[in-house]
Every structure is written in C-alpha cells, then in structure tokens.
Structure 1
C-alpha cells in the first residue's frame, strides 16, 4: 500500500446523540457515537477509498480507547493518532429539533485535542498534495498555533489547503475572536468549505455567489458554499486549477440526523477535486455523500461508500 496523498488534521471526540428531539434539559437518554468534524472527514475519505493520513489527539481514557479503535477499524493509519496521558477526550452533547437540525454542548476545557503541538506532521508535507483543516482547533492553544503553523507550512510546500471554519460560538470568547482567527488562516487556504452561517460569524457578508466571492477575497481561490436543503454552490478565481462557478440543488431525502452532513460533503468534494474532477462533479458527489449520510443516525457511522453513493445518484438523476 502506498502512503496517503491527503492529510487531515483536527479533533476526534465523542458525540452523545439524543433519543428524541428537544432541548438538552428535556432529553434523558443518549447514544454514544464517534465524531469530530476532521475525524468525520478523514473517515469519510477512507470509506470512499481515499484513505488519508489523520493527525489527531485523544485522551488516554476509555473514550479515547474506543475512538482509536474506531479509527483503525475504518482503515486510518495510527502513526499520527496521538494519545495524551494528561488530558481527557472531548465530549459533545447534541440536541435535535423536529427537522433534525442540531445544537452542541461541548465538554472541552483542556482536553486532548486542545493540546496538539506544532511540527508534529511537518515531514509528511513533502509527500502529500492536499491538507484539510477545521476551525475547532483554532479555539484553544496550543492547538491554535499548531493549526495555523500547519496551514502556513502546507501552503509553502505547494499542498492544496482546504479549511472548514465550523463555527461553534459556544467554544469562543465572542464573535470577534472567531473572526480574527479565521481571518488569520484564510490567506493560507486554497479551498474554503463553509455555510453562510459560518461566514457570517467570520464577518463575511453577502448571499449566494456574492458571498462566495467575498470569501475568496480573503485568500482562498475556491469557495464551496453548502446551503442545507438548497444544495451547494462553488466559486473559483483565476488562480484555481478548475474554473468558473457551479451550483447543485442537492438531493431531497427525509433526514434522520443531520450531524456530520457537512463533513460528509467535505469528504466527497475533496475526493472529487483531488481526483481531478471539476466543480460541478465535486458539488454533485459531495451532495450525494451528504444526503445519504442524513438518512441514518450518527456522523461517522452513517458515512457511505462509493458504491452506495453512486447507487443513490443513479436512482435520482
């Protein structure tokens, strides 16, 4: 087996999913699932037969044991799946409304994924062409510095750097700090995947294509904007290896759980773009991966393989 061509870096955590819709104070029973946006993307790529390197850090506790075992079961290399002997694993409790939209409550004070250290994966940057990062690790030091450093070094090595801001206001000391940190990393980003809500939190205003163009003005040559039930759109500048603009209306489904749908889209889009596909195919494939994911519970556990995605698309196109 050849070494992976993609590197994903960021948090792995435990999602506690509610037994029924409602606020956290109303829910008494939860189901435990592996999660964390970068972990979902890494596993999504592995399930799509594009196994990446994955740099993450979990606690040396039973939750960490279970997460590492899960990552290995999905085929991810263990080399940069770190165990922290002095910190716990992050927990996230999820609440759903009647449309399956979710909110999070994090237990992440000094946990393992806040303690990632700069320089850990520098040697990999000579051998990969794509590096994907998430915004949650920007919320705490030293992981913030490690994430920014990796973005800068990956860009210097000529890697395509993708980034998902993944705005979680409860992790930040106000919107200004989130806006500042996103503004600091965007000059080193090539492909930005975001929602309008993410960009609003980052101080980037507009709607539709105009919003995506405004995001590109901050540094990325490509913005992939996911729009929930309305699908997704993409804008690329002249600096991008693909050209123009694209839209896709998405695929109508009856959602069971939208947790991780954006991460599923990201995995699908990276798999397509890193494989030489154009923006139209990246949106179509990413939307199909995301839509399929929402038809089952959990983020990581609901991720589909290529055969299932292509069958899903064939039934609807």
Structure 2
C-alpha cells in the first residue's frame, strides 16, 4: 500500500521513471517498468525505509503502469507528478549484446517541477539519491542539480549513481564532476568507469573520481568479481556472494540501495560491514527474475552468512 500519511519520507530518489521496451523475437516487444532512480526508491521501500520517487510520468497507459507499480511498492505518491506529455521509452532492440536507444523528445520526465513537490518535505528528508539518464537530459538535469545544491546546503545526505548510458558523452563531463563533488556517496561499476571516462584504465579513472571528492564514500562494483568501498582512508573489498543467479537486472540499484539503507539505519557499522550489506542486497536481487527489489529478511540472511 502506498504511503498516504502526513509524515514525509526520510528517503527520496529524484530522476527518471521509464518503460523498457524489449524486443523479443524481431516482431514482438515486451514493456517493463523501470528507471534507475525509480528502482532505487523501490529498493529502499522494500527494505522498510519510508521512500518516495520524485519525478514526472505520462498520463497514458505507460504512466498508469508506473503509477500502479509505485503504489504497489509503497512509495509516497505525493512526489510522483503526472503530466500531459509523451512517455519516456528505452527501446532495447538487442539484449545480447545490449543495444538500445531512447525515445523521449519533450517527454513527461523533462517536465518534472521541483517547486510542485509537497510543502515542507525538505525538513523531513534525510537522504536524496540522484543518477541515471535524468542527469543527461535537459532541462531536467539542471533542475535536479539545483535541487541537489539546495538540499546539500540543508545538510541532507546525497548519493549519486551515474549509471552510464550512451547519452553520457563529453557533454556530460561537467555534470559528472559537479554531482561527484556534491555527493556523500558515489556508486560506479567497472562499465561506468570505462564509459564515463572513455578509457580502459579503470584504476586511473577511479583515482580521478576519488580526487574530485576525497571525503565521499565510493562503492565500486565489479559484477561477479565483487565490490569495494572506499571511505576516506578506509578501504575494503569483498568477493561476490555465491547465490543462484536468476537475473542480474536491478542488482546495481539494489547494491546502492542496500548501502544507503545500511548507512541510514546502522551508522556505527564499519566500512566492511556496510559493504557486505550492500553486496548482500545486490545478491538478493539476483535471486529473482526482473528488477524485483529484495526484502530486508532476504538481505539480512545473506548478510549474516557473510
């Protein structure tokens, strides 16, 4: 059930919610609700955090599906805006290897208005998350950066997952640096570093990222090769957890979501413990088909085993 009480959520993810249109056999397409930042909002809600997705979706069947899925996830629907513009679609015409493009000229996501969010929510939010293609699409990107600056000045914690996509060419470089300097927590994968920095020198790219904001905690994920968490001078790496992998879709969103949850609710944990909880969250997501967020008992069971 969606959150309808007057209390505002402690966590908000701001960005894009979209529909993945996946080509099945050359003739048929399968529509799946998605979006990087929207998924992270769902992960926090699934773990038990009061959560909202701040963004705009269309008023057609695609927007209906995203609205219904947001309600089913327990998100605070006061932050989800519905506008009379076309939907944002990711056309995935090949899954092996992944090949896609976006359809969204003047689409609903670009018309998100932060000034239309509920009055007083800024006083309640403890953590806000940014990332995905929303920061590569104007004018939405500029509005989100302004929101990040505003909340940073209020002492709200900020996490950032660029989640590299083909839209993020050299024109994205300034946004990458700005958001990295604003963030308290940054999540990147090996694929993100290669794409964002346009290099095969991943160690050098990571060093550059860390130099922009030495105080930020950086979660560096490497798929089946595990992950690392850098927190100031503290650093810990861990192997991937051995689970029966059904689907890796949504694992990255679950890993950053798990890290945020751990830092919000167990701040006394060590860097190692935060990392293991994050890896457990990503592993738990892999045990289900599609981008289904893990539940807290599922994550805690894997975390205890670690």
User: Which residue of structure 2 lines up, in the alignment, with residue 288 of structure 1?
Assistant: 280
Give 1:120 deviation, angstroms: 4.2
The reply to whether residue 107 of structure 1 matches residue 103 of structure 2 is yes
Q: Give matches, 1:27-42, under 5 Å.
A: 27-42=26-41
Task: Say if 2:33 and 2:66, in contact at 8 Å, map to a contact too.
Answer: yes
* Structure 1 pair 213–222 and aligned structure 2 pair: CA distance change class (3 A): farther
Worse overlay, 252-261 or 52-61 = 252-261
**1:8 pairs with 6, 10, 13, which one?**
13
* Distance (Å, rounded) in 1 between the aligned partners of 2:26 and 2:257: 31
Task: Label 1:289 to 1:88 Cα distance change in 2 as closer, same or farther (>3 A).
Answer: same
Deviations 1:65-98 (A, max 9, x none): 111011011111111100011x11212233433x
Q: Distance in 2 between matches of 1:18 and 1:288?
A: 31
- Quickly say closer, same or farther: Cα 1:103–1:45, change in 2 above 3 A: farther
CA contact (8 A) 1:17 1:298 kept: no
SS in structure 2 opposite 1:53?
strand
TM-superposed CA distance for 1:213, in Å, is 4.2
Alpha-carbon deviations, 1:134-180, whole Å to 9, x = none?
Answer: 131122222111111011111111111100111111x24xx211222
Matched residue SS, 2:20: strand
Shift of 1:118: 4.5
Q: Aligned partners of 1:54, 1:29: CA distance in 2, in Å?
A: 30
Tell me how large the CA RMSD over aligned residues is: 2.3
Correspondence 1:70-89 to 2 at 5 A: 70-85=69-84, 87-89=85-87
Q: TM-score, normalised by structure 1?
A: 0.84
Q: How many aligned positions are there?
A: 295
Q: Cα distance, 1:313 vs. partner?
A: 4.4
Can you give the 5+ residue segments of structure 1 that lack an aligned partner in the other structure? 20-25, 239-243
The answer to which structure has the higher helix fraction is 2
Q: How does 1:215-234 map to 2 (within 5 A)?
A: 215-219=209-213, 221-234=216-229
Separation of aligned partners in 2, 1:9 and 1:177: 21
SS at match of 2:57: strand
**Whole-angstrom CA distance in 1 between matches of 2:238 and 2:225:** 8
2:160 is matched with 163
Shift in CA distance, 103/282, structure 1 to aligned 2, threshold 3 Å: farther
Report the secondary structure of 2:212's partner residue: coil
Q: 1:158-307, aligned counterparts within 5 Å?
A: 158-169=155-166, 171-172=167-168, 175-203=169-197, 206-207=201-202, 211-219=205-213, 221-237=216-232, 244-275=234-265, 276=267, 277-299=269-291, 302-307=292-297
TM-score, scaled relative to structure 2: 0.87
